[in-house]
Chain A
Amino acid sequence: MRRLLFVVMISFGLMAANSYTQWFKPINDVFETIILPIHWVANIPARVSRWSSFRVADSADLQMENTRLAQENLIHRGQIQRMADLAAENLRLRLLLNATELFLGSVLVTEVIGVSPTPRRHTLVIDRGSEDGAYVGQPLLDAEGLMGQIISVYDSHSIALLITDSSHAIPVQVLRNGLRSIAEGTSNYNRLRLRFISSTADIRAGDSLVSSGLGERFPPGYPVGKVIAVTQVLGANFVDVEVEPTAQIDRSKHLLLVFTLDDVGVPGSLQ
């Protein structure tokens, strides 16, 4: 009983110290490096599953998938041509406005090698670290939209905080009318929440949200989510706005690390 009381007191002391200081960060950093091989071992079933599904697929299936991918590639190349035209036009307009250039420079493909083992914390372990030029605060995308940002960088791996984590917030704007807000995580992989939206604001279900670029952490214009419900609570000054993230937060395996123009020239990155 005496031991239990002692441990309880130590626990409360640690919790208090952890809340108000950064004393234990070095311990966490060392542990993250030690635990990396265990993440690798834990990832073996997923790798085996992917490998076996690839080996088991017959040639007809592979040929069909190949045809589909070739068609998709053609469509995307066509869209990129259109994008290049729009980007050039955007650049000209920005120059006319003397606006700051925030256009991204390059991206680096990365793979998820671990996920947070608890639903409370929405983090990923990715296989790029300081050796690849990754840095704290670097934005992370999947094929559909913004995923999150890097919060810890080690030599060969990094930890990224997802936009759905309850401690994460990202400045966004409504694509239709430019209404600015902050999208907060809710600890639910399928939901974000907009805070402090006035009940008279022009926002409705179906509106697309993109990163606004405010705060200069995330590049502007990347899809963040889609408004799925706007609820007016009786007597409240603000409406509850629920947003579904565009990115496949809990499914994407391969992601992109975004480098801004200042980082161009990182080895292995795609321009």
Chain B
Amino acid sequence: MKYSGITPAFVLSIFTALVLQLIPVSGDLIYWRPNFLLLIMIAWIIFKSDQRSIVFAASMGLLADLVFGSPLGVNILLFSLVGAVPLYFSGWLVYFTLAHRCLFVFLLVIFSELMSKFLFSIWQAPENYNYIFIVALVSSVVWPLFDILLRRIR
């Protein structure tokens, strides 16, 4: 990661994602909340691919590990693998339409959820597969906010 890329807008966006992630919700509503840290990471990689790399994705994963209280390394791996996909396609993704990027995020979140459930099965944690599509759907619905915001910053 090039340190010149750490702008006030970048710091503010990460802080906002962190706050949104920590807002208390009760009961099953938690399954409807998108992973804001993951979404902001994807958005920065798509729109600032020249400044954000795998190291940035891994750093966001480390932050997620600490916030979620999950075993250190799980989200580093997850965020790096998920971040590698938009990084690979970053040259093309900016030319996609918003709807196509929403679909891309939908698929990416499904990949991320399946990957995380696979990783957590190592610790034999009970996993609920019923909400994968809901999380992906909600993520793709809120994606335009991230898209518009980051496009403007770009």
Contacts and interface: CB of A to CB of B under 8 A. Distances in A.
B56 to A, nearest CB: 11
Nearest to A41: B19
A196 to B, nearest CB: 17
Interface in A8-40: 8, 10-15, 17-19, 24, 27-28, 31, 35, 38-39
B125 A28 contact: no
B126 A186 contact: yes
Contacts, number: 117
A166 B126 contact: yes
Contacts of B18: 38
A45 B24 CA distance: 9
B69 A114 contact: no
B72 interface: yes
A43 B33 CA distance: 16
Contacts of A12: 73, 77
Name the prevailing secondary structure of the B interface residues. helix
B30 to A, nearest CB: 5
**Band of interface residues on A:** 35 or more
Which residue, A11, A27, A31, A112, has most C-beta atoms of chain B within 10 A? A11
Chain B interface size range:
35 or more
A38 B22 CA distance: 8
B21 interface: yes
B30 A15 contact: no
Given A38-B22, A250-B27, A166 B125 contact: yes
Most chain A CB neighbours (cut-off 10 Å) among B53, B66, B72, B76: B72
A18 B27 contact: no
A7 B23 CA distance: 30
A198 B84 CA distance: 50
Interface string B6-25: 00000000010011111111
A42 interface: yes
B18 to A, nearest CB: 6
Contacts of A19: 71, 123
Contact of A42 (B19, B80, B125, B127): B19
A158 interface: no
Interface string B104-142: 000000000000000010110111100000000000000
A112 B70 contact: no
A254 B141 CA distance: 34
B40 to A, nearest CB: 14
B16 to A, nearest CB: 10
A112 to B, nearest CB: 7
B89 interface: no
Given A15-B77, A250-B26, A27 B68 contact: no
Contacts of A42: 19-24
A98 interface: no
Contacts of A251: 26-27
Interface in B42-74: 53-55, 57-58, 61, 66-74
Given A114-B22, A187-B126, A3 B54 contact: yes
Interface of A: 3-4, 7-8, 10-15, 17-19, 24, 27-28, 31, 35, 38-39, 41-43, 45-46, 112, 114-121, 123, 166, 186-190, 250-251
28 contacts: A4-B81, A7-B55, A7-B57, A10-B76, A11-B74, A11-B77, A15-B72, A15-B74, A18-B73, A19-B71, A28-B66, A28-B69, A35-B67, A38-B18, A38-B19, A38-B22, A42-B19, A42-B20, A114-B24, A117-B68, A118-B70, A119-B128, A166-B125, A186-B126, A187-B125, A188-B126, A189-B27, A251-B26
Given A7-B55, A24-B72, A115-B24, 7 more contacts: A11-B73, A42-B21, A116-B69, A117-B68, A119-B31, A188-B126, A189-B28
